[in-house]
Chains A and B, each alone.
Chain A
Amino acid sequence: MTVKRPPLLTFTAPIVAVLGACLGFVTGNVFGKPWVGFLIGAAIGAALATALAQLDGVARWKKTWGTTALFGLAGLIFGGTGGLVGGSVVGLCLGWFATWIGSGRYRAGVPTYYTAGQTLWHNTFLFITALIFFFLVAPLVPVMWLSFNAQDFFTFTPQMLAFEAEGYSLKHYRNFFEGGGSPGLGLIYGTIIGAAVGGLLQLLPNAERGVGKVVVFAIVGAILGVIVGKMWGVSGAEWMTPLKNSLIIAPFATLISVSLGTLAAIGLSQSHVPFRQWIMAIMISPMIVPLIISATGMFFFYAPLGNWLEATLGLNQSFVGYVKVILAHAVLGVPFVIITVTATLVGFDQSLTRAAANMGANPVTTFFRVQMPLILPGVISGGLFAFITSFDEVVVVLFVGSAQQQTLPWQMFTGLREQISPTILAAATVLVTISILLLTTVELLRRRSERLRGLSPG
Chain B
Amino acid sequence: MSDTTTSGPMLAADGTPLKTSLARALRRQKLRALALIAPLLLFVVITFIIPIASMLLRSVENEIVSNTMPQATEALQSWDASSDTPPDEAVFQALYFDLFRAAEAKEHTKLGTRLNYEQTGTSSLFRTSGRNLDKVGEEWQDPIEDIAPALKDGETWYAMMSGTGGEALLESRRALWNQMVPGDFGGDVGLTLSTEIIELLPLTSAAYADWAIFEALEKGRDVSSRDPWEAVYAALGLDLRAEATVAAVNAYQGPHADDLRLLTANLDQLPDLTFRDAFADLDEDWLDPEVWQTIQIYSPSYTSGYFLNAVDMEKGPEGAQARPDNQRIYNKLFVRTLWMSLVITASCIVLGYPVAWILANLPMRTANVLMILVLLPFWTSLLVRTSAWKVLLQQQGVINDILVWLGFVDDANRLILMNNATGTVIAMTHILLPFMILPLYSVMKTIPPTYLRAAKSLGATNWTAFWRVYFPQSVPGIGAGSILVFILAIGYYITPEIVGGTDGVFISNRIAYHISSSLNWGLAAALGTILLAVVLLLYWLYDRIVGIDNVKLGG
Residues of A within 8 A of B (CB): 26, 29-32, 34, 82, 118, 121, 125-126, 128-129, 132-133, 135-137, 139-140, 142-143, 146, 154-156, 256, 260-261, 263-264, 266-268, 270-274, 277, 279-286, 288-302, 327-328, 330-331, 334, 336, 338-340, 342-343, 381, 385, 388, 391-392, 394-395, 398-399, 409, 412-413, 416-417, 424-425, 428, 431-432, 435-436, 438-439, 442-443, 446, 456
Tell me if B508 is interfacial: C-beta within 8 Å of chain A. Answer: yes
CB-CB under 8 A from A139, the residues of chain B are 377, 385, 388-389, 392, 430
Question: Complex Cα distance A288/B394, Å?
Answer: 32
Closest B-chain residue to A332, C-beta based?
B48
CB-CB under 8 A from B368, the residues of chain A are 443
CB-CB under 8 A from A34, the residues of chain B are 407
Q: Enumerate 19 A-B pairs (CB-CB under 8 Å) in ascending A order.
A: A126-B358, A129-B355, A129-B358, A140-B384, A155-B394, A261-B40, A283-B41, A292-B491, A293-B532, A295-B515, A297-B52, A300-B58, A331-B48, A339-B552, A395-B494, A399-B515, A416-B383, A416-B390, A435-B379
- Could you mark each residue 375-416 of chain B with 1 if its beta carbon is under 8 Å from any beta carbon of chain A, else 0? 111011111111111111010111001000111100000000
CB-CB under 8 A from B53, the residues of chain A are 297
Let me know if A279 and B55 touch, CB within 8 A.
no
CB-CB under 8 A from B551, the residues of chain A are 284, 339
Let me know if B555 and A446 touch, CB within 8 A.
yes
> Given A264-B36, A297-B51, A298-B51, are A26 and B406 also a contact pair (CB < 8 Å)?
yes
Let me know if B44 and A286 touch, CB within 8 A.
yes
Question: Complex Cα distance A291/B489, Å?
Answer: 11
Tell me if B524 is interfacial: C-beta within 8 Å of chain A. Answer: yes
- Of B376, B397, B488, chain A has the most CB atoms within 10 Å of the CB of B376
Let me know if A264 and B41 touch, CB within 8 A.
yes
Tell me if B33 is interfacial: C-beta within 8 Å of chain A. Answer: yes
CB-CB under 8 A from B29, the residues of chain A are 270-272
Question: Complex Cα distance A32/B407, Å?
Answer: 7
Let me know if B493 and A294 touch, CB within 8 A.
no
- Of A256, A425, A428, chain B has the most CB atoms within 10 Å of the CB of A428
Closest A-chain residue to B408, C-beta based?
A29
> Given A32-B407, A154-B391, are A443 and B528 also a contact pair (CB < 8 Å)?
no
Let me know if A286 and B528 touch, CB within 8 A.
no
- Could you mark each residue 529-550 of chain B with 1 if its beta carbon is under 8 Å from any beta carbon of chain A, else 0? 0011001100100010000110
> Given A271-B29, A285-B44, A339-B551, are A140 and B388 also a contact pair (CB < 8 Å)?
yes
> Given A140-B385, A432-B380, are A301 and B51 also a contact pair (CB < 8 Å)?
yes
Question: Complex Cα distance A287/B30, Å?
Answer: 27
- Could you mark each residue 512-529 of chain B with 1 if its beta carbon is under 8 Å from any beta carbon of chain A, else 0? 100110000100110010
Let me know if A272 and B26 touch, CB within 8 A.
yes
Let me know if B372 and A443 touch, CB within 8 A.
yes
Residues of B within 8 A of A (CB): 26, 29-30, 32-37, 39-41, 43-45, 47-55, 58, 351, 354-355, 357-358, 364, 368, 370, 372-377, 379-392, 394, 396-398, 401, 405-408, 430, 433-434, 462, 487-488, 490-494, 497-498, 508, 511-512, 515-516, 521, 524-525, 528, 531-532, 535-536, 539, 543, 548-549, 551-553, 555
Shortest Cβ gap from B493 to chain A (Å)? 5
Let me know if A137 and B40 touch, CB within 8 A.
no
CB-CB under 8 A from B491, the residues of chain A are 289-293
CB-CB under 8 A from B35, the residues of chain A are 267
CB-CB under 8 A from B405, the residues of chain A are 30, 82
Question: Complex Cα distance A154/B401, Å?
Answer: 13
In order of increasing CB-CB distance, the 5 nearest A-B pairs are A290-B491, A267-B36, A301-B51, A297-B51, A264-B40
Closest B-chain residue to A275, C-beta based?
B34
> Given A282-B44, A300-B51, are A291 and B493 also a contact pair (CB < 8 Å)?
yes
CB-CB under 8 A from B512, the residues of chain A are 292, 295, 395
CB-CB under 8 A from B535, the residues of chain A are 288-290, 293
Shortest Cβ gap from A436 to chain B (Å)? 7
Shortest Cβ gap from A305 to chain B (Å)? 9
Let me know if A297 and B54 touch, CB within 8 A.
yes
Beyond known contacts A263-B37, A288-B539: 4 more, CB 8 A cutoff: A143-B387, A143-B391, A264-B40, A399-B515
CB-CB under 8 A from B55, the residues of chain A are 293, 296-297, 300
> Given A155-B397, A156-B398, A340-B553, are A292 and B508 also a contact pair (CB < 8 Å)?
yes
Shortest Cβ gap from A34 to chain B (Å)? 8
Let me know if B528 and A296 touch, CB within 8 A.
yes
Question: Complex Cα distance A378/B376, Å?
Answer: 19
CB-CB under 8 A from A125, the residues of chain B are 354
CB-CB under 8 A from B536, the residues of chain A are 288
CB-CB under 8 A from A256, the residues of chain B are 43
Question: Complex Cα distance A416/B494, Å?
Answer: 10
Closest A-chain residue to B488, C-beta based?
A290
Query: Among the listed B40, B45, B394, B548, which residue makes an inter-chain contact with A260, where contact means beta carbons less than 8 Å apart?
Result: B40
Shortest Cβ gap from B474 to chain A (Å)? 16
CB-CB under 8 A from B521, the residues of chain A are 300
Shortest Cβ gap from B48 to chain A (Å)? 5
Let me know if B511 and A292 touch, CB within 8 A.
yes
CB-CB under 8 A from A270, the residues of chain B are 29, 32-33, 36
> Given A267-B37, A272-B30, are A294 and B52 also a contact pair (CB < 8 Å)?
yes
